[in-house]
C-alpha cells in the first residue's frame, strides 16, 4: 500500500529495461518502503540483468514475453504481474522512438511506432484500470513526451502516437479516480538514454534521473501531469500556442 | 441485507484515500454473514466515526462495515456504573447519557467523537494514563464476531481479548463492549496550570507532581530552541467535587453553560499552518498561559476536547492533509526525547500541536501502545517539504531507546521496525490467525504494515 506520505511498497515496470523506468524505481525505492518490484518486458534475460540493480528490494520478479505491440500477450502479462499481490505503482515505460525518415518511407515502420507507443498504452491501460478498480487503489505512470503536446517536423510519427497515448492517459485518470486510482502523465523533453543513443539532441536535453525526480514529486503531490525538466512546463505552454506559421520556422 | 455503495475513504489525516464497498449492516446477523463468508478475497474491516488519523478503517477494493446504524445501550447498571453498549456508541454518547447520572468515561482520547469499537481497536489512552491505564483496562468483556467462531463473548483475560486490544480491528468485528464507567460528582474539572521554562523543568514537574493528579498533560513548544528547548505549559486536574463548585453551579453540577460551536471553513490555503504562523501561535499560547494558576474550575469539554469545539479542524491543514506522529520512550530515555525535539526544531516544518505526557505501566494488550515512559505526539502538515527522512530518523531514535510508535496514528512507519517496537507481534499474529484463519479481516493499514496475509 502507498503510505500517508506517498511512499510505495510495490512497483511494476512495463518496459522493464527502460532507463527512465528504472531510474523512477530507483528514486521511489529511496524512501525505503519498496517490498516488491516486477520488471515486465519482452526478453526475460535482459530483464534479469536489470534485476541485479535492485538487490535491496526483498522481492524482485521478472515477467518476460510482454510485447507492447502484441495485445495477445497482454492478458497473461497482467495476470502474472498481479499474481503476487497488489501493485501500488505501474510504470508504462515501454516505447519505440523509431526512425522518422524510415517511417516516412515505410508504412509498416510508421504503424509499428503507433502500435507500441499508442495502441500498447491503450491495451495495457484498459487492463490496468480494471485491476485498479478491483484493488481499490493504485497509480499508473505513463511516460508521454513533450512531443505529444506539439510534434515537430522531425518526429511527428512518434509525436502523434505519444499525443494519442497522452490524451488516453488523461482520460483514464478520470475513469479510475472514483476507484481510488491515479494516473500521472509524464512529459519529458529529450532524455539521454539507451533509446536515444545516437539521436541528435533536442534543446533542454536532460537525464533519466531528472525525470525520476519530477515523477517522485508528482506522485507525492498527486499531480496529473509533470514535465521534465520541470521548466519545460512553461516552455511548452508557449510552444503549444505558437501559430503554426511561426512554429514551422523554428529549428526542427 | 443492506446495499453496498462504493466510496473513497480516508482517515482523519486525509492522506492516501482508497475505494471500498461500504455497507451499513442492518443487524448483528448481517455482520456475522459478512464476516463469515459474505466478503470476497479483499476482505472486510469495521469503521466507526473515521477519527483514526491513518488508513486503519479503510479497505481498498474490499468491504467496509459502517456499524453506526447499530447503536444501542443493551444494559446499564446504575449502581456499579457498568454499561454494555454497541461498539458504535461513541464517547460523546456516553457523556450525553451517563454524565447527568454521575458517570464519566473511564478513559477518553482528545476527541469525544470516537466509538467504543475504535477505542478497543486502538486501546486508546487519555490524560489519565499514569493514573488509570488505557481503555482496555476498564473493559469487562467484549462481544465479537470473528471469521472462525462467529459471534462470541470474549472475557477480559482471554488471549483474543488482549489481541483485540490495539489489534486495529483485525481480529474480528467488535459488536458490544461492556465498560466500567467512573463515578463523578460534577461535569467540571479543577485544573492547575503552570509554565515550564525548558524540557528538564517540565519533565521534573511531571515526575514530581503527576501522582497528585488524575489527569496530566503538557503542551510543548517544538519550535523553541537553545535554553528554551522544550518549554511547555503543563495542565493537570481532577474531576471537581460538588463542594468545590461556586454556589450557583453547585445546585446543578451537571449543567454546563452553552458553548459556541465553531467550524473550519470548507477550504483553506495549503500553507496556512507554516513555521511562521505556528511559531506565532506557540509564542502567544505560551505567554497566554498563567505562570502558575491553581484550582481553576473549568467545564469538562474545554479540558478534554479543546479541538472538538472546531468542527472539521482537520481541514485547517489544507488539502494534502497532515500526519500524526506519536511515540513513547522509556522514562530513562530523556536524552532521546531531547534529541527528538531538537531534530524537530531543525526541520523546515512545524508541529502545530505537540503534546507530552508521562505514561504509567502498560497492560497485557499484545499491540497496545502505552508503555511506561514519555510519550510525544505531533501533528505535522503535509506540504511540499518531504517529511519522510526526518520521521524515519525519529523512528530510529525511538527504537534505539526501546520505544515504539503508535500504530493507530502512524501512517508511514517502516513495517520492518514493527517487531522491534512491539515484541509480542508474533504472539499477536498467532492469535489473529486462530480467529481469522482465512485472512478475511483486511485493511489498508493491515496490508501496509504486513499485519494481514495478502
Examine the pLDDT at B314 and tell me if it is beyond 70.
no
Q: Give B74-121 pLDDT, tens digit per residue.
A: 999 999 999 999 999 999 999 999 999 999 999 999 899 999 999 999
Residue B389 CB neighbours (<10 A): 12
Q: Give B165-182 pLDDT, tens digit per residue.
A: 999 999 999 999 999 999
CA distance readout (Å), A39 to A12, A23, A45, A52: 6, 13, 11, 11
Average pLDDT along chain B: 90
Q: Which of A227, A121, A139 is nearest to A183 (CA)?
A: A139
3-state DSSP assignment of residue A38: strand
Q: A118 catalytic, yes or no?
A: no
Residue B280 CB neighbours (<10 A): 11
Q: Which residue has the cell 505560551?
A: B286
Residue B153 CB neighbours (<10 A): 12
Q: Give B198-207 pLDDT, tens digit per residue.
A: 999 999 999 9
Residues of A in contact with B323 (CB under 8 A): 4-5
Spatial separation of the C-alpha atoms in residues B410 and B394, rounded to whole Å: 12
Q: B435 is written with which cell numbers?
A: 480467529
Q: B271 is written with which cell numbers?
A: 500553507
Examine the pLDDT at B275 and tell me if it is beyond 80.
no
Query: Residue B448 — pLDDT band, cuts 50, 70, 90?
Result: very high
Interface probe with B: pick from A1, A2, A4, most Cβ of B within 10 Å? A4
Q: Give B7-22 pLDDT, tens digit per residue.
A: 999 888 777 889 999 9
The pLDDT value given to residue A224: 97
Interface residues of B toward A, Cβ cutoff 8 Å, are: 6, 8, 13, 15-20, 42, 54-55, 59-62, 320-321, 323, 382, 384, 386-388, 391-392, 411-412, 414-415, 444, 447-448, 454
Interface pTM (ipTM) of the complex? 0.90
Examine the pLDDT at B262 and tell me if it is beyond 60.
no
b/e A160-184 (16+ beta carbons within 10 angstroms → b): bbbbbbbebbeebbeebeebbbbbb
Q: Give the count of alpha carbons within 13 A of A96, CB side only.
A: 22
Spatial separation of the C-alpha atoms in residues A68 and A89, rounded to whole Å: 18
Kind of pairing between the strands at A181-188 and A225-228: parallel
Kind of pairing between the strands at B44-47 and B63-66: parallel
Q: Does A175 touch chain B (CB under 8 A)?
A: no
The pLDDT value given to residue B289: 78
Query: Counting beta carbons within 10 angstroms of the beta carbon of residue B247, is it exposed (0 to 12), middle (13 to 18) or buried (19 or more)?
Result: exposed
Answer whether B411 sits within 8 Å of A5, measured CB to CB: yes
Of residues B454 and A56, which shows the higher confidence score? A56
Interface probe with A: pick from B22, B448, B449, B451, most Cβ of A within 10 Å? B448
The pLDDT value given to residue B258: 74
If you count them, how many residues does chain B have?
454
For B90, list phi and psi in degrees, rounded to 5. -100, 170
Mean pLDDT of B246-271: 73
Q: A44 is written with which cell numbers?
A: 526475460
The pLDDT value given to residue B284: 76
Q: Does A107 touch chain B (CB under 8 A)?
A: no
Answer whether A137 sits within 8 Å of B18, measured CB to CB: yes
State pTM to two decimals: 0.92
Of residues B181 and B221, which shows the higher confidence score? B181
Answer whether A2 sits within 8 Å of B391, measured CB to CB: no
Query: Counting beta carbons within 10 angstroms of the beta carbon of residue A199, is it exposed (0 to 12), middle (13 to 18) or buried (19 or more)?
Result: middle
Contact status, residue B219 vs residue B235, Cβ threshold 8 Å: yes
Answer whether B447 sits within 8 Å of A1, measured CB to CB: yes
The pLDDT value given to residue B7: 92
> What are the residues facing A182 on neighbouring strands?
A139
Spatial separation of the C-alpha atoms in residues A189 and A207, rounded to whole Å: 10
Contact status, residue B83 vs residue B98, Cβ threshold 8 Å: yes
Query: Residue B260 — pLDDT band, cuts 50, 70, 90?
Result: low
Q: B66 is written with which cell numbers?
A: 459502517
Sign of the Cα torsion B331, B333, B335, B337 reads negative
Answer whether B18 sits within 8 Å of A180, measured CB to CB: yes
Mean pLDDT of B332-346: 92
Q: Which residue has the cell 458490544?
A: B176
Examine the pLDDT at B266 and tell me if it is beyond 60.
no
Across chain A, which has 252 residues, the per-10-residue mean pLDDT values are 93 97 97 97 96 93 97 97 97 96 97 97 98 97 95 93 98 97 97 89 92 96 94 90 86 72
Interface probe with B: pick from A3, A7, A88, A220, most Cβ of B within 10 Å? A3
| Nearest CB neighbour to A7, from listed B18, B59, B388 | B388
Count of A-B CB contacts under 8 Å: 79
Q: Give A70-109 pLDDT, tens digit per residue.
A: 999 999 999 999 999 999 999 999 999 999 999 999 999 9
Amino acid at each position: 500500500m502507498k503510505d500517508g506520505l506517498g511512499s510505495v511498497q510495490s512497483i511494476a515496470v512495463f518496459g522493464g529495461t527502460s532507463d527512465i523506468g528504472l531510474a523512477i524505481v530507483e528514486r521511489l525505492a529511496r524512501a525505503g518502503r519498496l517490498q516488491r518490484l516486477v520488471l515486465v518486458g519482452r526478453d526475460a534475460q535482459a530483464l534479469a540483468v536489470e534485476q541485479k540493480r535492485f538487490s535491496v528490494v526483498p522481492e524482485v520478479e521478472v515477467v518476460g514475453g510482454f510485447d507492447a505491440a502484441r495485445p495477445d500477450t497482454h492478458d497473461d502479462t497482467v495476470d502474472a504481474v498481479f499474481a503476487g499481490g497488489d501493485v501500488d505503482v505501474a510504470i508504462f515505460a515501454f516505447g519505440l522512438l523509431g526512425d522518422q525518415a524510415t517511417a516516412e518511407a515505410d508504412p509498416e515502420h510508421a504503424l509499428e511506432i503507433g502500435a507500441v507507443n499508442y495502441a500498447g498504452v491503450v491495451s495495457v491501460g484498459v487492463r490496468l484500470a480494471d485491476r485498479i478498480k478491483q484493488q481499490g487503489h493504485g497509480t499508473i505512470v505513463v511516460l508521454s513526451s513533450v512531443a505529444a503536446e506539439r510534434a515537430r517536423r522531425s518526429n511527428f510519427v512518434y509525436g502523434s502516437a505519444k499525443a494519442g497515448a497522452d490524451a488516453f492517459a488523461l482520460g483514464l485518470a478520470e475513469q479510475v479516480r472514483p476507484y481510488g486510482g491515479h494516473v500521472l502523465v509524464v512529459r519529458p523533453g529529450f532524455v539521454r538514454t539507451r533509446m536515444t543513443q545516437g539521436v541528435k539532441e533536442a534543446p533542454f536535453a536532460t537525464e533519466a534521473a531528472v525525470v525520476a525526480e519530477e515523477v517522485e514529486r508528482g506522485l507525492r503531490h498527486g499531480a496529473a501531469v509533470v514535465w521534465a525538466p520541470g521548466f519545460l512546463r512553461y516552455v511548452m505552454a508557449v510552444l503549444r500556442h505558437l501559430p503554426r506559421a511561426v512554429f514551422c520556422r523554428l529549428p526542427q | 441485507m443492506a446495499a453496498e455503495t462504493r466510496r473513497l475513504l480516508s482517515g482523519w489525516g486525509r492522506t492516501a484515500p482508497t475505494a471500498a464497498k461500504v455497507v451499513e449492516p442492518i443487524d448483528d446477523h448481517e455482520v456475522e454473514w459478512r464476516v463469515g463468508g459474505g466478503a470476497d478475497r479483499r476482505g472486510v474491516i469495521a469503521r466507526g466515526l473515521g477519527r483514526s488519523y491513518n488508513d486503519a478503517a479503510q479497505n481498498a477494493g474490499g468491504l467496509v462495515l459502517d456499524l453506526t446504524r447499530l447503536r444501542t445501550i443493551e444494559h446499564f447498571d446504575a449502581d456499579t456504573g457498568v454499561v454494555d453498549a454497541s461498539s458504535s456508541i461513541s464517547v460523546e454518547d456516553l457523556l450525553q447519557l451517563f454524565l447527568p447520572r454521575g458517570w464519566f468515561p473511564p478513559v477518553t482520547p482528545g476527541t469525544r467523537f470516537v466509538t467504543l469499537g475504535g477505542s478497543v481497536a486502538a486501546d486508546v489512552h487519555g490524560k489519565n494514563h499514569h493514573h488509570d491505564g488505557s481503555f482496555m483496562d476498564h473493559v469487562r468483556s467484549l462481544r465479537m464476531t470473528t471469521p472462525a467462531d462467529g459471534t462470541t463473548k470474549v472475557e477480559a483475560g482471554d488471549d483474543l481479548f488482549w489481541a483485540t486490544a490495539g489489534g486495529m480491528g483485525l481480529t474480528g468485528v467488535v459488536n458490544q463492549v461492556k465498560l466500567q464507567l467512573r463515578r463523578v460528582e460534577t461535569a467540571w474539572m479543577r485544573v492547575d496550570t503552570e509554565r515550564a521554562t525548558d524540557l528538564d523543568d517540565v519533565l521534573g514537574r511531571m515526575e514530581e507532581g503527576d501522582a497528585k493528579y488524575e489527569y496530566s498533560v503538557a503542551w510543548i513548544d517544538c519550535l523553541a530552541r537553545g535554553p528554551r528547548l522544550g518549554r511547555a505549559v503543563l495542565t493537570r486536574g481532577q474531576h471537581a467535587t460538588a463542594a468545590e463548585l461556586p454556589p450557583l453551579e453547585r445546585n446543578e453540577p451537571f449543567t454546563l453553560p452553552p458553548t459556541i460551536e465553531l467550524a473550519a471553513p470548507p477550504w483553506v490555503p495549503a500553507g496556512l499552518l507554516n513555521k511562521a504562523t505556528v511559531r506565532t501561535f506557540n509564542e502567544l499560547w505560551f505567554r497566554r498561559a498563567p505562570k502558575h494558576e491553581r484550582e481553576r474550575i473549568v467545564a469538562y469539554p474545554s479540558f478534554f476536547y479543546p479541538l472538538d469545539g472546531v468542527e472539521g479542524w482537520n481541514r485547517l491543514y489544507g488539502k494534502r492533509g497532515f500526519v500524526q506522529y506519536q511515540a513513547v520512550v522509556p522514562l530513562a530515555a530523556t536524552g532521546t526525547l531531547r534529541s527528538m525535539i531538537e531534530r524537530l526544531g531543525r526541520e523546515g516544518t512545524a508541529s502545530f500541536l505537540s503534546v507530552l505526557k508521562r505514561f504509567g505501566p502498560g497492560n497485557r494488550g499484545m499491540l497496545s501502545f502505552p508503555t511506561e515512559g514519555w510519550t510525544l505526539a505531533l501533528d505535522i502538515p503535509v506540504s511540499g517539504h518531504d517529511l519522510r527522512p526526518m520521521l524515519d530518523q525519529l523512528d530510529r531514535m525511538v527504537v534505539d531507546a526501546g520505544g515504539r510508535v503508535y500504530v493507530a496514528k502512524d501512517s508511514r512507519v517502516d513495517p520492518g521496525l514493527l517487531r522491534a517496537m512491539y515484541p509480542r507481534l508474533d504472539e499477536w499474529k498467532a492469535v489473529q490467525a486462530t480467529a481469522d484463519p482465512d485472512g478475511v479481516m483486511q485493511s489498508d493499514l493491515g496490508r501496509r504494515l504486513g499485519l494481514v496475509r495478502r
